[in-house]
Amino acid sequence: MKKGHLNHSDVVGRLLIFVRTENKSQLVRMIFAALFIAIQPFLGVVLPKIAIGTIERYGKDATLPLAKVMAIYCVIAGFIGFMSAYLSRVTDSENIRLRMHYLALLSKKIQNMDYKYVEDATFREKNERAMQAGSSSGNGIELLLNLIYKAPAYLLTLIAMAVVAFTLSPIVLVMTVLHCVTLMWVSVKTHDYEYSLKEEKSKAQRRISYFNKTTHDFS
């Protein structure tokens, strides 16, 4: 891996190994959560088709059959919605616990590292992002854990919608794919560029912090 380049697959792979080591059942929850999250958006698409189909089939006598179909639909939709919300909450809660455990491991490493690294500015500049990986739920390890199970769900939904779009118009599908690919490419390149500047950014932030502390002491 070249210097300044972030290997995304390697990061995700090591994170999955960490999850499997700490809690194997979390991976199973992630898979089921992804499936239910992927199915849920299609419930609203299926409902009008079912209702119209029932009315066309039974005509004037569609009241009772339509009520039965709607009742079955509500039960299925309620179950899928409940499982989607439940698995998401449980998975997110476990991801928080994993982040806390990561912080504990990180603290142990910091407490036991060689003293020469304590005052080594270069060491902090290279590893600042790793030290901040557990600082909040909106970045670092917990953000990645949430994306690992939500991203496949969104991808499955996107594929299914792409199939529907292709049946309507191949041009719509091509434009949608190009749009998604472009956004992903720009996002990855932007993140890689930001990662390549991590040492310079950490050094600048450290200087700003020192300056603020110094001026605060004299104020």
Q: Which residues contact 206 (CB under 8 A, 6 or more apart)?
A: 121, 124, 125
Q: Which amino acid is it at 186?
A: V
Which is more confident, 42 or 74?
A: 74
Instruction: Kindly state the percentage of the chain with pLDDT values over 90.
Output: 2
| Average pLDDT of every residue of the chain | 77
Residues 154 and 21: their CA atoms lie apart, in Å, by 26
- Cα distance between residue 86 and residue 9, in whole Å: 28
Predicted pLDDT at 163: 77
Can you give the pTM of this predicted structure? 0.62
Residue 156: per-residue pLDDT? 79
> What are the boundaries of each domain within the chain?
8-153
Between 77-81, 140-144, 206-210, the lowest mean confidence (pLDDT) is in 206-210
**Encoded amino acid at 213, one letter:** K
> What are 82-117's pLDDT values in tens digits?
998 898 888 888 888 888 888 888 788 777 877 676
d(CA 113, CA 131): 13
How does residue 202 score in pLDDT terms, banded at 50, 70 and 90? low
Q: At residue 210, does pLDDT exceed 70?
A: no
pLDDT digits (tens, 9 = 90+) for 61-73: 888 888 888 898 8
